[in-house]
Amino acid sequence: MNKIRFAANKDTNYVFHMLSTAKCGYDNEYGAKYREIYPPEDLSVIKKNEDLLTVCGGQHCGILFGIIVSQPACAYVSAKEYYSGLIQLGNDIINGNIPDNIESALIPYTEIIIEISEIMVKHYDYYIENIWESEKKKIEQYIPELLDLFERSSFTEKAERLVGNLENEYFIATLVTSVAGGAEAINISNEQDMFCIEKTYTDAFYFIGHEFIIFLLIKAPGNIDAFFETWDLTEGLAEYYLKKIMGDTKLFNEQQKYVRFYEELSNSQSLSALELYEAAAEHFIDNKIYS
């Protein structure tokens, strides 16, 4: 049974729509198309906090990315409701009513959180009423052929046999229209990643397949700790398993030296994902071999 499901969610799309129009992590035709709708002073608030709000492929994660971007993008409640709650939380903190569950590292950013949240609440209704339906249609037209590739290939069954079982019932690929040329495959919850639809179906199939394997790896027996400094090894390991399933790889060319290392190692012995990873860490990191 295919364990990848695709979602077109208005709230996920709204969060990244606003980042794109503000050139916050994304600078593309989509953002340019909608940028003039919004007051420049609102977009500048988002843009000036770019470092706090963005992530970059295992190398950088802004301290406000979780609370401002990934949590509302999960869409457990509407983005408008979520950001309204953040405004209330921020005002409570300013008034000295600090909840026990608030991360202390976030408290110095309270005013920024309020300011950005007010902007996100302000423009939500316009997006839903005037933009979302046209963007939703693009996603809904994109999904069937991509889903068919996963259904026909038995990809997830093959990946689970090689790596281990998916922790959740499904891996949810939440599709957005606004992030071409910037960070995607962003883990926004324990069961879903965000992907752009601006790819050929074949490239999207390989890319989402790679990320599905990443999800399996981080929950593999013994748990592979994908620290930022060793993330390339984890990406390379995902490509190694992708190649075993597909016969080739397409999109992560810079990781091929790790794929070759894993292939050579597995030719002589049968090793688990964790054992392969640990051997690569010893070879490339401990011995400081980076190329």
In the chain, the amino acid numbered 54 is T
Q: What is the pLDDT at residue 217?
A: 87
Tell me the three state secondary structure of residue 7. Answer: strand
Is-contact 68 50, C-beta < 8 A?
no
In the chain, domain spans: 9-130
Q: What is the pLDDT at residue 227?
A: 38
Structure tokens, 278? 């640990």
Which of 226, 259, 258, 223 is CA-nearest to residue 57?
226
Give pairs for 277-281: CB < 8 Å, separation 24+: 277/217, 277/224, 277/233, 277/234, 277/237, 280/233, 280/236, 280/237, 281/230, 281/233
Is-contact 195 176, C-beta < 8 A?
yes
pLDDT in tens, the chain (291 residues): 899 999 999 999 999 999 999 999 999 999 999 999 999 999 999 999 999 999 876 567 899 999 999 999 999 999 999 999 999 999 999 998 888 888 899 999 999 999 999 999 999 999 999 999 999 999 999 999 999 999 999 999 999 999 989 888 999 999 999 999 998 888 888 788 999 999 999 999 999 999 999 989 887 655 555 434 578 888 999 999 999 999 998 888 888 999 999 999 998 888 988 889 889 988 887 665 544
Euclidean distance between CA atoms 32 and 56, whole angstroms: 22
DSSP state of 74: T
DSSP state of 37: G
Q: What is the pLDDT at residue 228?
A: 44
Euclidean distance between CA atoms 137 and 69, whole angstroms: 23
